[in-house]
Amino acid sequence: MLIAVSEAFEQLGFFVDDEEGEVLEVTVDDVEIEELSLLEVKPNEARVEAFVQLQFVAQVEYDDMETSIWDSEDKVSIPQRRIKSELTRTFEAPGGRSNSSTRGHLKIPHP
């Protein structure tokens, strides 16, 4: 189940909060199941709900606005460089596991 939680988490959609950038890769380092509840049992299938805590590392890249120049014609700031960074974060949430796949998004605040 730990492997399934890790793989499902890594497939979520991630984005950088408050910056123009992107999350390049997410890797789960550790998963702990805090609580586990059996919701339903059928032949060859079980549905459970788990409260999980996991640590992950996100590779991010975003515009360095401190290096931007002002384009007076188009009235926009143009960054001259991008920052690549590795962020380690902890995520806690209740989560369900069943035969269906769930897609979602998670904001990753930059430092």
Residue 111, domain member (yes or no): no
Range 37-64 average pLDDT: 87
Burial of 4 (0-12, 13-18, 19+ CB in 10 A): exposed
Q: Which H helix or E strand runs over 4?
A: helix 2-10
pLDDT of residue 95: 53
Residue 13, domain member (yes or no): yes
**Is a pLDDT exceeding 60 seen at residue 6?**
yes
**Total domain count, the chain:** 1
The model's pLDDT over 8-20, given as tens digits with 9 standing for 90+, comes to 888 888 888 888 8
Residue 101, domain member (yes or no): no
Residue 104, domain member (yes or no): no
Residue 102 tokens read as 């769930």
Residue 110, domain member (yes or no): no
Give the span between the Cα atoms of 91 and 106, in whole angstroms. 10
Residue 103, domain member (yes or no): no
Residue 59, domain member (yes or no): yes
